[in-house]
Amino acid sequence: MKREGRKYLIYRQTILTVFLAVFTLGLLLGLPAASGLDIFPTILLFLFFIYFMILYGYYRLVFKPYRETKKMMELFSKGYILQGIFELRYPLCPATEKMNNKFREMLNTKELISASKKQAEYLALQNQINPHFLYNTLEGIRSEALCAGISEVARMTEALSSFFRYTISHVEHLVTLEEELNNVKNYFIIQQFRFEDRLSISIDTGSEEEELLSARIPKLTLQPVVENAIYHGLEEKIGKGIVRIKIEGTGKRLIITISDNGLGMPEEKVIALNKKLRAISLDGMKQEDTGKSGIALINVNSRIKLLFGDEYGLYIYSTQNEGTDVEITIPFHTE
């Protein structure tokens, strides 16, 4: 082709699959038109190189991520949850990467639950006792106390027997709120034997008492928090100590607030404790060093988060020398 007195050689090659036409324009300066045919092999080689690079890019950026994502989803649908399944080297798109991160989060939560369950089973074996022997012994003490006219000892022994029966014998994850409150009352009777008139408790369920009491919550949610309030808030308080339990149902949530008029905590300690409560960690589920303030709260909070998710758990409000409120939030359901 001639243009403005110059000779050009135009070669057109259509690359299939990607519908791309590559044009090579060669300017032949001072060469006969026929001599341009000698560069055809070079042009073809260059075109094949471009074609190969396009295919390689398509394979790496489209086909390989698609194949890996498809394989991951097939394995996941068959029940495989190994960590390696979620290691995508080439995410197909941002949404795929986000989905992959969510799968990994689910897997980590499952591992935490499994590890905490094994730990609980180990502790149960480590501290195993014969419950029937314990119940029979306590019942014997209660009978002797009644015969001797020591009604307070009989009452405390009965409460202790019921408390151990509830704590040791039942293995359900969820119990009714009424069962939890009864366990707290038995625990409080035991504590009153020690503190006498220095300690009192009040429970407020509002106008929806029947519906609220049928709500199902994790077993041993309330008693550890009440125990924490007594030992870290009221034990060293001068004067009468009061524990208040307020229960509210707000749509899909059950909010239980356990308050005390004890010593309270400094602001920096409250901030640090709430920071720990926002995280899920097996460290919060260790049963050792239970005498340290906050361990019981972290334990309860960890179990709630593992069962229901990050949006639920415990939050603490406290003012030094005025008292502490522990707010427990869980899903509200009765099944």
More confident of the two residues 82 and 330: 330
In this predicted structure, which of 41-45, 50-54, 88-92, 196-200 has the lowest mean pLDDT? 88-92
At residue 272, the 3 state secondary structure works out as helix
The rounded distance, in Å, linking the Cα atoms of 300 and 229 is 14
* The token pair that represents 145 in the structure block: 């106390």
Single out the residue of 224, 287, 234, 288 nearest to residue 256, CA to CA: 224
- Burial class for 28, CB neighbours closer than 10 Å (0-12, 13-18, 19+): middle
Contact 180, 300 (CB under 8 A): no
Average pLDDT over residues 294-305: 86
The residue whose two tokens read 């020398």 is 321
Most confident of 11-15, 70-74, 150-154, 281-285: 150-154
Q: Which amino acid is at 130?
A: N
What fold characterizes domain 187-331? Heat Shock Protein 90 (3.30.565)
* The token pair that represents 239 in the structure block: 């004067």
- Burial class for 159, CB neighbours closer than 10 Å (0-12, 13-18, 19+): buried
Average pLDDT over residues 284-308: 69
The rounded distance, in Å, linking the Cα atoms of 37 and 45 is 14
Contacts of 68 (CB under 8 A, 6+ apart): 88, 89, 90, 92
Single out the residue of 319, 205, 197 nearest to residue 257, CA to CA: 205
Most confident of 57-71, 110-124, 219-233, 281-295: 219-233
In this predicted structure, which of 75-84, 161-170, 194-203, 310-319 has the lowest mean pLDDT? 75-84
The rounded distance, in Å, linking the Cα atoms of 67 and 62 is 9
* The token pair that represents 227 in the structure block: 């125990």
Backbone angles phi, psi at 293, to 5 degrees: -60, 135
Q: How confident is the model at residue 315 (pLDDT cuts 50, 70, 90)?
A: very high
The rounded distance, in Å, linking the Cα atoms of 59 and 117 is 44
- Burial class for 35, CB neighbours closer than 10 Å (0-12, 13-18, 19+): exposed
At 70-97, the pLDDT tens digits run 776 776 666 655 555 445 555 556 666 6
In this predicted structure, which of 29-33, 197-201, 243-247 has the lowest mean pLDDT? 29-33
pLDDT of residue 88: 53
pLDDT of residue 158: 85
- What is the radius of gyration, based on Cα positions, of the chain? 35
C-alpha 305 chain-centroid distance: 4
At 3-14, the pLDDT tens digits run 666 655 554 544
The residue whose two tokens read 């009777």 is 189
The rounded distance, in Å, linking the Cα atoms of 37 and 51 is 21
The rounded distance, in Å, linking the Cα atoms of 328 and 262 is 19
As annotated, the residues of the chain forming the CATH 3.30.565.10 domain(s) are 187-331
Tell whether the model's pLDDT for residue 106 goes beyond 70: no
